[in-house]
């Protein structure tokens, strides 16, 4: 649970969507790194693996009271989808119908840890995961080389009050691993640091999702 209210770690997000083509193993961009195969884009699906629709939620009050899966585009703006993908609450991540396309799964906390360790640890791995340059990240985008090829993008988030925050500044990505009844593990990347940090975050929050190959 992100109750550590350090100003640079505040969060937000909101809902809005249009139907997107479900990725297939043949059209998913990936990179093989550290004995894992990662998608190089944030997830942008509006249905579960079995074809059931994931609800679009645009209302902030509705969002913060959800206990089932939902998604949105940052700021309810579909133009953000092709760049940043969708933001999902953790209930969508955990749904038994499967959020990830066939042949893939949402990255677990242990898989995140393995990647970070392979890339040099928390203090260095963030720069190796972030997209290089300032096309999407705010300056200075400290240490960003994308030497991993994963191309981490600063999609921001949807916060505990349903608001949107930190596009271009932070990438916040769910893991599939639950911490307790109200929170689950996530990883954060920052525009002004090399680090990647692990947090327990409220399940109602809207974060990006990356998947790895089964």
Task: Identify the domain containing residue 82 by its residue range.
Answer: 10-18+30-213
The 3-class SS string of 12-75 reads ECCCCCCCCCCCCCCCCCEEEECCEEEECCCCCCCECCCCCECCECCCHHHHHCCCCCCEECHH
Q: Decide if 4 is inside a domain.
A: no
Q: Decide if 24 is inside a domain.
A: no
Q: Decide if 79 is inside a domain.
A: yes
Read off the pLDDT band of 70 (50, 70, 90). Answer: very high
Share of the chain above pLDDT 70, in %: 88
Predicted pLDDT at 67: 96
Q: Decide if 196 is inside a domain.
A: yes
Question: What is the number of domains present in the chain?
Answer: 1
Residues 6+ apart with CB under 8 A from 77: 16
Predicted pLDDT at 27: 78
Predicted pLDDT at 192: 97
Render 76-137 in DSSP notation, one character per residue.
Answer: G-GGGHHHH--EE-HHHHT-TT-SSPTTEEEPPHHHHHHHHHHTT-HHHHHHHHBPPSSSSS
Q: Is the pLDDT of residue 55 over 90?
A: yes
Single pTM value for the model: 0.87
pLDDT tens for residues 126-185?
A: 999 999 999 999 999 999 999 999 999 999 999 999 999 999 999 999 999 999 999 999
Q: Is the pLDDT of residue 104 over 60?
A: yes
Rounded CA-CA distance 72/91 in Å is 13
Calculate the CA 153 to chain-centre distance: 9
Q: Decide if 197 is inside a domain.
A: yes
Q: Decide if 174 is inside a domain.
A: yes
Predicted pLDDT at 205: 98
| Strands 104-106 vs 164-165: parallel, antiparallel or unpaired | unpaired
Task: For residues 76-100, give the mean pLDDT.
Answer: 97
DSSP secondary structure code for residue 193 in this structure:
-
Average pLDDT, the chain: 90
């Amino acid at each position: 649970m992100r109750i550590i209210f350090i100003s640079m770690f505040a969060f937000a997000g909101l809902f809005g969507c249009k139907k997107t083509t479900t990725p297939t193993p043949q059209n998913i961009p990936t990179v093989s790194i550290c004995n894992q195969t990662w998608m190089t884009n944030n997830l942008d699906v509006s249905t579960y693996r079995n074809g059931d629709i994931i609800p679009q939620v645009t209302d902030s009050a509705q969002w913060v009271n959800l206990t089932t899966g939902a998604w949105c585009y940052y700021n309810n703006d579909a133009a953000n989808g092709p760049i940043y993908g969708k933001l999902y609450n953790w209930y969508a991540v955990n749904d038994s119908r499967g959020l990830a396309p066939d042949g893939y799964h949402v990255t677990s906390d242990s898989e995140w840890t393995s990647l970070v360790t392979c890339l040099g640890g928390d203090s260095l791995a963030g720069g190796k995961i972030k997209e290089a340059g300032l096309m999407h990240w705010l300056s200075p985008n400290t240490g960003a080389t994308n030497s991993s090829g994963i191309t981490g993008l600063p999609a921001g988030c949807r916060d505990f009050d349903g608001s949107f925050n930190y596009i271009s500044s932070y990438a916040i990505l769910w893991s599939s691993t639950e911490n307790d009844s109200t929170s689950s593990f996530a990883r954060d990347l920052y525009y002004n640091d090399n680090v990647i940090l692990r947090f327990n975050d409220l399940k109602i929050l809207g974060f990006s999702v990356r998947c790895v190959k089964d």
